[in-house]
Structure 1
Amino acid sequence: MSLHPFPYQLYLVISEADCIGRSFLTVAEKAILGGVDIIQLREKNCSNSEFIKKASQLIEITDKYNIPLIINDNIEVTKNINVAGIHVGNNDAKPTYLRQQPFLQNKIIGYSIEYLSQLENEQITESDYLGISPVFRTNTKSDTVTEWGLDGITKIRQLTEKPLVAIGNIHLTNVKDIINAGADCIAVVSAICSADDPQKAAYELKNEILK
């Protein structure tokens, strides 16, 4: 059973590699000041000890602003640091398994949807929100299956009451369409991490969502 209301609207997915030439900690803090209200740390290519180190640095910032920190797909890191939860995809540990772990029982579990048929499986029941990935194709994630588009979001919205977090090539000009199609929350990587001014970029995105 999911336990958490999902009051978040602007979700930053961040890694050190996405913040070329800048500290990912600085980018995260500026993004929070601009209006990001939940952050996921996604580090695909570093050791567990390095990931834990980055997460412990980042949680100092997220805790300061009372922003939930979600860990992408790494149970070890999630277990070691008192983060808000974990996000998993199709090829990761299943939400049903995660919910049984004592250290995750009261945490947020996010689950990415790549096929409509996933909406019929028991993993959905145990998830607090669903990642709709990708809405539009993107270079930051090349291993995805379906490009959902706006119609895909609308279709998923009709089939589930779970909060929907849309990700994939989202920027200022399509945010409103994605929300109108049925997403509850917008997740971005490069729209903030690659922006000249991450705080301004976050502010503008949040403003667009709230319009």
Structure 2
Amino acid sequence: MTVDLSLYLVTDSGVTTAAGHDVVDVVRRATARGVTTVQVREKDATARTFLDTVLWVAGAVPDHVAVLVNDRVDVFLAARDAGAKVAGVHVGQSDLPPSAVRRLIGADAVLGLSASTPQQLAAASESGVVDYVGIGALHATTTKRDAPSPLGHDGFARLVAMSALPAVAIGGITVTDLGALRRAGAAGAAVVSAICGADDPGRAAAELHAAWDAA
């Protein structure tokens, strides 16, 4: 399955709640204004709550928007079993090995993997099962407790040049970063607070989308 990774929203219920928003409403408004992929991330939710959120999100997005599940292969499988339009999963270095994830989700699902070193990028490519990598953190971020040290634009550019797979930047990204990221070779930019914490998530998505297109 091919997905458009260019404007990639990672949900965070804590950030959305603090901004006075609802996760599903943020997703609906953002995908109407340019978000192309949504990763549902609920680090502290129960499996049932996580599943419910995935089902609601999958039902709220346009057909062209891919919905991915963060970390929880079981939640992805349960959502797919329930008939939800879920495209795949995104896992980290401390989650199940990509080869095991691929066997569980099947050949047609999307599999993304977080990477932050040349060795991790090489392993992702050599695995033969990963579809894209998420490279970060670009900047310091408070939305991911175990985020690696910030790479900055130069560090990201060096890593993306080493990646044989499409690469999405993540970590404290704002609209001012998108031009440099696209010129460096990124397939997309993943944002959390820039949309989830915005006063107007739809307008924020539109501004990000326009900045990417203009790069």
TM-score by length of 1: 0.92
**1:150 equivalent in alignment to 2:153:** yes
The percentage of aligned residue pairs carrying the same residue is: 32
Say if 1:56 and 1:6 are closer, same or farther in 2 by CA, change over 3 A: closer
Aligned residue for 1:110?
112
Q: Measure the CA separation in 1 of the matches of 2:127 and 2:147.
A: 19
The structure 2 residue matched to 1:91, chosen from 75, 94, 103, is 94
1:80 aligns with 2:78: yes
Residues 1:136 and 2:139 aligned together: yes
Task: Name the SS of the counterpart of 2:113 in structure 1.
Answer: strand
One-letter amino acid of the structure 2 residue matched with residue 13 of structure 1: V
Contact 1:114 / 1:144 at 8 angstroms: preserved in 2? no
Conservation of the 8 A alpha-carbon contact between 2:178 and 2:189? yes
- Which of 4, 7, 10 is the equivalent residue of 1:10? 7
Distance 1:124 1:209 in 2: 30
Cα deviations across residues 81-130 of structure 1 (Å, max 9, x unaligned)?
121000001100111111112x3321000000022211222565311110
C-alpha distance in 1, partners of 2:128/2:171?
24
Task: Note if contact 1:134-1:166 (Cα within 8 Å) is conserved in structure 2.
Answer: yes
**What secondary structure sits across from 1:126 in the alignment?**
coil
Deviation track 1:56-77 (CA, whole Å, cap 9, x = no partner) reads: 1111012x44311100000110
Alignment of 1:168-207 (within 5 A): 168-207=171-210
Q: Work out the CA distance in 1 between the residues paired with 2:203 and 2:177.
A: 17
Show CA shifts across 1:147-198 (max 9, x none).
Answer: 2221222222322231111011111112111211221101000000111111
The TM-score with structure 2 as length reference comes to 0.90
- The separation in 2 between residues aligned to 1:152 and 1:139, in whole angstroms, is 20
Match of 2:67 in 1: 69
Report deviation, 1:7.
2.9
Q: How does 1:47-66 map to 2 (within 5 A)?
A: 47-62=46-61, 64-66=62-64
Gaps of 5+ in 2: 81-85
For the Cα contact (< 8 Å) 1:6–1:129, is it kept in 2?
Answer: no
Match of 1:121 among 119, 123, 126: 123
Q: Structure 1 pair 6/52, CA: closer, same or farther in 2 (3 Å)?
A: closer
SS at match of 1:87: strand
Contact 1:43 1:72 survives alignment (8 Å): yes
> Which residue number corresponds to residue 210 of structure 1?
213
Specify every segment of 5 or more residues in structure 1 that has no aligned partner in the other structure, as ranges: none
The runs of at least 4 aligned residues of structure 1 exceeding 2 Å deviation read 4-8, 122-125
Aligned residues: 206
Larger CA deviation: 46-55 vs 118-127:
118-127
C-alpha distance in structure 2 between counterparts of 1:28 and 1:7, whole Å = 16
Distance apart, 1:6 and its partner CA: 4.2
Q: Conserved in 2, the CA contact under 8 Å of 1:90 and 1:114?
A: no
